[in-house]
A = this chain, B = another copy of it.
Amino acid sequence: MRAVAVKAGASSPEVVEIDAPEPDDGEALMRTLRVGIDGTDFEVLKGTHGGFPEGDDYQILGHEAVGVVEDPNGTDLEEGQLVVPTIRRPPAGSNEYFERGEPDMAPPGTYLERGIDGAHGFMSEYFTSPAEYLVPIPAAFAETGILVEPMSNTVKALEHSFSSRSVFDWNPETALVLGNGPLGLLTLAMLDSTVERSYCLGRRDRPDPTIDIIEDLEATYVDSRETPVTEFADVHEPADLVYEATGYAKHAYETVDALAPNGVGVLLGIPDDWTFEIDGGRLHRELVLENKALLGSVNSHLRHFESAKESLDRLPDWFLDRIITDVFTPEEVDQAFEGGDDRIKTVIEFGTR
């Protein structure tokens, strides 16, 4: 079968011809429909995130996938059922986090991540997975279901955010999303029913398709070159919730300035090392005197995928049509990984339902 992979020593993906996988006991075999590309894929290509499966000199990419069950192989799944696979898998011997269904809380070194760290991804004509890591989705999600995985990360981040504010009366009215990539835009759309006013920060010139989407969501675009995060609260209003999806390390600390009293900032970006100055005394003091919180959040578990599925069903069609901007065949892999400001979510399509 064809697979999109990166070979040892290479930094760009290519189509490789490999044997189709055979499902083990408890695993189903899926025929792949679509796989989304995101920033983590580029980090895998650069070699700055994750690592190859043990013993292999290539890694199949892709962790945002939709497949159709080709062979249930004795599992409870039915042939023809559409599924989204989760990403994390237990290393040899499993561990407590997987046993209690919370692989997202497993610390680094205690999990593999398909398509990212130590395990092949889903960017191939077929993939296998234990049935317990497959989330059934409706047939109507054949094209958009690749958004369930990124959305599940937001579901988890918001769940942690709200729980951190659950012992007092907290009714967030305003949200600031840092980053106008696909995850930022999905989050902005998901927050539409939660807050009254939302803002999305980016650094793009008009005309720009992400700015158009932000404004069609009735949110306010914040150009970070004109209004840095540190000035957001003064120029607009303090935000009850800040969602960081830029991976720009200074944003983690500047979030304290953008937050309203009793607000929570949730961080999802994964920056490289970067030493810089902060007014650590002032930020510490403001965290305390205004009861602010900063939370890190990574990955998600089955419950978050289930909830993301419901969220996806609520997103307007126009939004979904405009967020998946580019669809390529596996053979067009070079173009698919080119990137560009006119692209939001790019997918590789292996087949249709």
A residues neighboring B (CB under 8 Å): 100, 102, 104-105, 107-108, 159-160, 163-169, 249-250, 252-253, 261-262, 267-298
Contacts and interface: CB of A to CB of B under 8 A. Distances in A.
Q: How many copies does the complex hold?
A: 2
Nearest to A303: B167
A168 B281 CA distance: 31
A288 B271 CA distance: 10
Contacts of A273: 279, 281-282, 285
6 contacts: A102-B168, A107-B290, A159-B167, A252-B284, A271-B281, A276-B278
B289 A279 contact: no
A168 B105 contact: yes
A284 B298 contact: no
B286 A291 contact: no
A253 to B, nearest CB: 6
A282 B289 CA distance: 26
A206 to B, nearest CB: 30
Nearest to A287: B296
Contacts of A285: 249, 270-273
Most buried by B among A107, A159, A166, A291: A291
A253 B165 CA distance: 21
Most buried by B among A160, A293, A296: A296
